[in-house]
Amino acid sequence: MKYYDYDLLPFKIHVIQTNRFKTVSVQINFYRKLTEEEITKRNILCSLLASTTKKYPKERYMSMKRQELYAADFGCSSIANINESVLRFQSEFLNEKYTEKGMMKETLDFFLSMIMEPNVTDGRFDEEQFHLVKKRMKKRILESQENNRYIAKRRLIETMCSDTPLAFFPLGNLELLEQLSNEEIYQYYLDILQKDSIDIYVCGDVNPEEIKQYFLENLKIKTTKKPFSFESILMNDIRKRSRTIIEKKFAQQSNLVIGFKIEELTPFERDYVAPIFSQILGGSSNSKLFRIIREKHSLCYSIYSAIYGFEHIMLIEAGIDAKNFKKTLEYTKKIFKEMEKGKFEESDVNNYIKLYYHSLDEIYDSPNSMMNFYGSHIRRHTDMIDERKENIQKVTKEMVMKLAKKIHLDTIYLLEGDVNHE
């Protein structure tokens, strides 16, 4: 496996050359700083570009073409990622060895046409498609309210992190969605081509020079970008006393989310100590939360914790019966306190270090995990696999206890399931 990086000024190309896969995977990422009003615009644009092109102006023609390209997979997603907004075009297709000669070029041509040859006439996207995309987005926003776990998590984050970009609703704003005009979206499209930073990742058994040449000739974006750097989100206002919010909804089950704020982490704490802390607390079916709250007290089916290191927050989520709310909360607080006091085994720390170490080898097993891992190294300067293997072994029990002191309970949110609630 080899990495090749080319800085071609308007964009950068990163090739992970490997013969591990029968497929070739490509990601083209457009980045800029995340703002609340742009989320809606970017989401509309993303759906528009992925749905039709000038040459294939109907969705069914697009789908037929995909099928002809040996069931190649194409997509675009608009991701609100900490302080950056990413428009990600991605494709995975079979290596020519398994199809026919020339298919790689044909597939990449089609892929790029989604970005470079939109279904636009006289400065407007196809009107029918524009309305359809808006309608779909509206439905998606409405339907997000059917997922109780999602609702609970969003409400908690909106409350706890109200002054940060984490509070922006990632599916967009309904009012803005109605207002945005076709022309505005087209202008926004031109703006993106001109101003967004662009990173391209390719993973597979390919010739890096050929890839570079291909994009130079075919991705006709010429403007040089001001570098835009990625930043963590810091939590100010650490509360002395936590707050509790309870809302009701028609449902069988109640969803509990407990939010913690974390003081600023060093990169070492973030990438090495925090994952070990989280594993011990609630990261797996062998965690303290799982063993005590589920296995010992039978209070829930699922309970887990996750630390979001760049965001400096930790969430504990559980699906419970409303009558068990107080008990679950009590045990959770107690278990959390034990982490601070060091009431866990040295051997737990060592086992999770081993798990972390060996899981790193699995990153090589899928093109997506390779690209995402390498992408994080490029964008966020996180360590590569070998460095990580070395660093993770330095984590000690004392470090985990010290980290616990940086984590502070902030907000408790219960979406109470009530079958009589309308």
What is the DSSP secondary-structure string of 321-355?
Answer: -GGGHHHHHHHHHHHHHHHHHT-S-HHHHHHHHHH
Candidate residues 355, 372, 383, 397; the one interacting with another protein per rule CB under 8 A: 355
We find the least distance from the C-beta atom of residue 304 to another protein, in angstroms, to be 13
Q: How many residues belong to the site for another protein (CB under 8 A)?
A: 60
What is the DSSP secondary-structure string of 158-171?
Answer: HHHTTTSGGGS-TT
Mark the segment that binds another protein (CB under 8 A) among 63-71, 83-91, 228-236, 368-376.
Answer: 63-71
* Near another protein in 155-174, by CB under 8 A: none
Q: Of the two residues 167 and 385, which places its CB atom closer to another protein in the complex? A: 385
Q: Of the two residues 215 and 356, which places its CB atom closer to another protein in the complex? A: 356
Tokens 């630390």, located at residue = 307
Tokens 């398994």, located at residue = 98
Candidate residues 37, 346, 361, 387; the one interacting with another protein per rule CB under 8 A: 361
Contact status, residue 19 vs residue 97, Cβ threshold 8 Å: no
Q: Of the two residues 142 and 246, which places its CB atom closer to another protein in the complex? A: 142
Q: Of the two residues 23 and 232, which places its CB atom closer to another protein in the complex? A: 23
We find the least distance from the C-beta atom of residue 84 to another protein, in angstroms, to be 29
Long-range contacts of range 354-361, CB-CB < 8 Å, 24 or more positions apart? 355/279, 356/272, 356/275, 356/276, 356/279, 356/388, 356/392, 357/389, 357/392, 357/393, 360/385, 360/388, 360/389
Tokens 């950068």, located at residue = 12
Mark the segment that binds another protein (CB under 8 A) among 21-29, 176-184, 227-235, 309-317.
Answer: 21-29
SS3 call for 233: coil
> Is 320 a residue that touches another protein (CB under 8 A)?
yes
Q: Of the two residues 263 and 418, which places its CB atom closer to another protein in the complex? A: 418
**How many other β-carbons are positioned within 10 Å of the β-carbon of residue 405?**
10
Q: Which of 391, 411, 406 is CA-nearest to residue 153? A: 411
Interaction site with another protein (CB under 8 A): 19-23, 58-60, 63-64, 67-68, 70-71, 92, 94, 98-99, 128, 132, 135-136, 139, 142-143, 145-148, 249-253, 284-286, 290, 294, 298-302, 319-321, 351-352, 354-355, 357-359, 361-362, 364-365, 417, 422
